[in-house]
Structure 1
Amino acid sequence: MKKFSKFLAVLLMTLMLTNCATIFGGKVTQYQKTKPADGEPQRNVRVVALIADIVLFWPGAIVDFATGAIYKPQK
């Protein structure tokens, strides 16, 4: 029973710390990490990843925005 409790705790922590754009979005480019200067166009957000973050575990959206993974890479 003790092993099961530890396994369940690790599983729950793993699920709570996941965020869609960081995990499934691929490598984060310099364009995604850099905040646009005044007068430059704003970066586009990956809408599907944002909705998935909000539905599955909303603090994951904070991580995605902090890492820049939530933004679409430049073409």
Structure 2
Amino acid sequence: MKKKLNYLSVFFLACLLSSCATIFGGKVTSAQRTKPKEGEPARKVRPVAVIADALIFWPGLIVDFATGAIYKPAPKSESEPKVEAASVKK
């Protein structure tokens, strides 16, 4: 019984010391990792992850912002590289 309690304590502590968006947010895309250049729109933040990090364990916010997991992933159309059609001369 004591051994199960120790494992449960370690698991619970690991959950509290982790950041929500990094653990549950899925794969971090390159659009989330790179900062927007001048003139580009700012990245949108996942509000649920911010609130959960703030309520559960606030240093998790630091981890989420450092990894970029706190930002919403770009839509598929924006994340795919744009390929221009090559003009064919006859």
Q: Could you tell me the TM-score, scaled by structure 1's length?
A: 0.83
Paired positions, count: 75
Larger radius of gyration: 2
Distance 1:65 1:15 in 2: 18
CA RMSD, 1 decimal: 2.0
Q: Structure 1 CA distance, aligned partners of 2:21 and 2:14?
A: 15
> Percent identity between the aligned chains?
62
Normalized per residue, the structure richer in helix is 1
- Which residues in structure 2 correspond to 1:1-75 (within 5 Å)? 7=7, 10-11=10-11, 13-75=13-75
Q: Is there any run of 5+ residues in structure 2 with no aligned partner, and where?
A: 76-90
Higher relative contact order (CA 8 A, sep 6+): 1
Distance 2:8 2:51 in 1: 26
**Structure 1: segments with no counterpart, 5+ residues:** none
